[in-house]
Structure 1
């Protein structure tokens, strides 16, 4: 229907809308030559936004983060399969990875557990694979700590509560000095940490967060905010007062995402102005 098509068209990005205009309005067939022409015309538009080129060092750090993310995903898959195999045989284990690790080690240490069974050998092999994944992930974590210690910008970022070596190196690798973003709030929007806006008939509605942009960075910031929330909410700083007021009227998960957005904006200030985090000025710096 025509109305549905119009709604879909409004949700597209400006670049996609421009490409659609060039292809449908003027040149009906899509090929490489017309794609190149559309890109050239888009480059002349004053409202187009361009991505800053990354240095080789930034690309290298991003590759390390992707490798670690792949290993963590493989470990999660392995532990879920381990838990399912034991559950099928009547062994229920509590949640949390360390509890599963303790239970599997205890079962394998028992000589009477599935003695001579092929499944016992399978569990032992999977446990050894788990140990190897832990070792490789730990090696990458130590490398990120060294990178954060040697990089001035990353070292400044680690002064922010909830941002450790992993978050700091990922931020520096993804946004550099933050010059791509004109304001602190632009970084939060790029990470998908701001509400989606739906406006019709002149009535704006704010929905859940947009979840656009760098999913990996957004995940790291939310995990960091969740870990830092208890201590920050008890502090007598301006950030602590802001969090306590927010917790009084919003769900805890909503506050976690709001804090992640605040940390991203503080990170932009630190990257752009080359300063260190100051708790008493956190809210003012991120405004």
Structure 2
């Protein structure tokens, strides 16, 4: 029997599969062990398979797609309102089926293994950057108790630690402690450089990566993160949808004749939004020295708005520009065009 939709509530070892007909009536709703899932899906006629975009969903999406099914991933927050009764796997699986039938649901594209590898590198890099900052702050705090104070910055830190090691006025215990700090710090720097080298190779080998690198405010880190998350932006119908997904559009509270606009929604991918705003900050800080339309627009906005507000506005404009250029597979042109200045 062919079902209109089969939904799967994912877990680590025990899964819940629910099949519905064309009237969204459950035909089965049963538990499956991890080693039973693929065999069960192999026995089903090709159909639409829907899962929440959560832990291990991209892996299972790739495996099930190999069997000929059309796999769709739905954001978990869109499923929650459809859960009826108690929170359990049985109700969750049916809620996924109901949510998937909504007309305006935007599904998440299943990532390839290569995309997930790049995403993993970004997650590891993010942790290492936090570790690097923590080690720097701890070293400065601990050494201040011994009267060792040095300026801010990476080079000042390395020079300060090296100065303690080479100074005979400090005890061997303190010097050994600083040697350990310096070794750990340098190892973290080495790992960060290795990751950034891999990200750079990924971007340089990809035409879409070169397109992104041509855009002001987009470097290797931003370009690789965007490619790993959205590929060519095919999951979005227009640039506005992409900006909304990133959470760069204002919150709206409207009722009757009242319409209030607030700060940005901060929905979607927090990491991508942060990186895009950081890139916009760099663009805004040097916009006064540039003559391209995007920089001129940012400079005019900077005359009346605070720096952070302008940075977010530029990030919003960059998001739209990114989608347009990726969709057209064109590189950014410095000459004035309707692309970068259009709303």
Do these two structures clear the TM 0.5 threshold for a shared fold by scoring above it? Answer: yes
When residues 158 and 16 of structure 1 are mapped into structure 2, their CA distance, relative to the original with a 3 A threshold, is closer
Q: Would you say 1:165 and 2:231 are equivalent positions?
A: no
Q: Report deviation, 1:247.
A: 0.5
CA distance in structure 2 between the aligned counterparts of 1:128 and 1:17, rounded to whole angstroms: 47
Assess if the C-alpha contact under 8 Å between 1:237 and 1:279 holds in 2: yes
SS of the counterpart of 1:199? strand
Q: Calculate the aligned-residue CA RMSD, in Å.
A: 2.1
SS of the counterpart of 1:269? helix
CA distance in structure 1 between the aligned counterparts of 2:334 and 2:76, rounded to whole angstroms: 40
Q: Would you say 1:35 and 2:96 are equivalent positions?
A: no
Instruction: Report the counterpart of residue 274 of structure 2 in structure 1.
Output: 219
Instruction: Report the counterpart of residue 325 of structure 2 in structure 1.
Output: 270
Q: Would you say 1:50 and 2:83 are equivalent positions?
A: no
Q: Report deviation, 1:15.
A: 6.8
Q: Would you say 1:89 and 2:146 are equivalent positions?
A: yes
Which deviations, in whole Å up to 9, do the C-alpha atoms of 1:108-154 show, x marking residues without a partner? 22222x222x2331121011100011011001111111111111110
Larger Rg: 2
Pairing of 1:146-161 with structure 2 (within 5 A):
146-161=201-216
Which of 258, 261, 281 matches 2:316?
Answer: 261
Instruction: Report the counterpart of residue 126 of structure 1 in structure 2.
Output: 181
Q: Would you say 1:20 and 2:77 are equivalent positions?
A: no
Assess if the C-alpha contact under 8 Å between 2:118 and 2:225 holds in 1: yes
Bigger proportion of residues as helix = 1
Q: Would you say 1:177 and 2:232 are equivalent positions?
A: yes
Could you tell me which runs of 5 or more consecutive residues in structure 1 were left unpaired when the two chains were aligned.
Answer: 1-13
Which of 171, 179, 182 matches 1:115?
Answer: 171
Q: Report deviation, 1:29.
A: 2.1
CA distance in structure 1 between the aligned counterparts of 2:289 and 2:153, rounded to whole angstroms: 26
SS of the counterpart of 1:284? helix
Q: Would you say 1:138 and 2:199 are equivalent positions?
A: no
Number of positions where the alignment pairs a residue of Structure 1 with one of Structure 2 = 268
Assess if the C-alpha contact under 8 Å between 1:238 and 1:283 holds in 2: no
CA distance in structure 1 between the aligned counterparts of 2:258 and 2:79, rounded to whole angstroms: 26
Assess if the C-alpha contact under 8 Å between 1:154 and 1:172 holds in 2: yes
CA distance in structure 1 between the aligned counterparts of 2:338 and 2:145, rounded to whole angstroms: 51
RCO higher in 1 or 2 (8 Å CA, sep ≥ 6)? 1
Instruction: Report the counterpart of residue 210 of structure 1 in structure 2.
Output: 265
Instruction: Report the counterpart of residue 10 of structure 1 in structure 2.
Output: none
Q: What is the TM-score of this pair, normalised by structure 2? A: 0.72
CA distance in structure 2 between the aligned counterparts of 1:281 and 1:62, rounded to whole angstroms: 34
Which of 122, 130, 133 matches 1:76?
Answer: 133
Assess if the C-alpha contact under 8 Å between 2:287 and 2:299 holds in 1: no
When residues 260 and 16 of structure 1 are mapped into structure 2, their CA distance, relative to the original with a 3 A threshold, is closer
Q: Report deviation, 1:195.
A: 2.2
Q: What is the TM-score of this pair, normalised by structure 1? A: 0.86
Q: Would you say 1:245 and 2:300 are equivalent positions?
A: yes
When residues 156 and 206 of structure 1 are mapped into structure 2, their CA distance, relative to the original with a 3 A threshold, is same
SS of the counterpart of 1:163? coil
Q: Report deviation, 1:251.
A: 0.5
